[in-house]
Structure 1
């Protein structure tokens, strides 16, 4: 990312506050189920949210693959959902949000775009942010703009990440 402006949503993040993100489908740093893969069922894993701070008005959830950068030239964005109700405690498998907004991923689709590493085992970073206000943008937003809005128009009250791994042998689109 030489010379590129980064935003709070880029790459790995540091823990801030008591916000926590876990999954009953995999432990932090462990392999995710085959079903999450883009070439398989392409369904997001179930996620549990806790520790949302008082004063949070909305949550932002993103999943990306920093290890794709040497191959595609940037961190590959798989999923971005914003303006999630701050009282949300569970994201079900194969979630279709009715009150949150799903942004475009790097498959140029809205919604979940599951792992599809070109080769080997990649780490995928699920990042969760608690904001003091809603983002309030349409779904056509991409990660750079979403991150910029988070940095300039909102206050990030808390943030956390969960890492899941996925191997090319679990399913590929190539």
Structure 2
């Protein structure tokens, strides 16, 4: 990394460490929340986002893998801004928080890269991490929490 200042990642939908609104989860519309990215360093050619849940019962669950995002300050709600990789559900695109029990943490990692990446649609997180490692200028994180709504008993 060549930048000394981390990216500042915020959202007007939830605060860092706060609760993610249901709209962005399996209890709602399951669209990605808006992200605001500050301190994008000079020379940034693209951004990448990895969203993961480290509290998943079977290990880290990948909710969103996307790269070659234009280096703009705002990632809009309900938009896939770049090329999508394969999430933990085996699909491409955003997979909203949906913890089986309890409250889980969701980390939105954003990376500023000094080039676009030559990766195929559907690449997994490991391939993205390997491809971007030498080109990271800066990174930042936003963390939100979510507890799945109680389901009414079936009669």
Deviation at 1:169, TM superposition (A): 2.1
In 2, are the aligned partners of 1:34 and 1:170 still within 8 Å (CA)? Answer: no
Aligned CA distance change for structure 1 residues 113 and 16 (closer, same or farther; 3 Å): farther
**Residue of structure 1 equivalent to 2:50:** 62
Determine which structure has the larger helix proportion and give its number. Answer: 1
TM-score normalised per structure 1: 0.80
* CA RMSD after TM alignment: 1.7
**Residue of structure 1 equivalent to 2:101:** 119
TM-score normalised per structure 2: 0.90
Deviation at 1:55, TM superposition (A): 1.0
C-alpha distance in structure 2 between counterparts of 1:38 and 1:101, whole Å: 22
Gaps spanning 5+ residues in structure 1: where? 1-14
Structure 2 residue matching 1:169: 3-state secondary structure:
coil
> Paired residues, what number?
149
Deviation at 1:107, TM superposition (A): 1.0
In 1, are the aligned partners of 2:27 and 2:149 still within 8 Å (CA)? Answer: no
**Residue of structure 2 equivalent to 1:8:** none
Aligned CA distance change for structure 1 residues 16 and 108 (closer, same or farther; 3 Å): farther
C-alpha distance in structure 1 between counterparts of 2:26 and 2:126, whole Å: 23
Q: Choose the corresponding residue for 2:122, options 140, 156, 170.
A: 140
Deviation at 1:19, TM superposition (A): 1.4
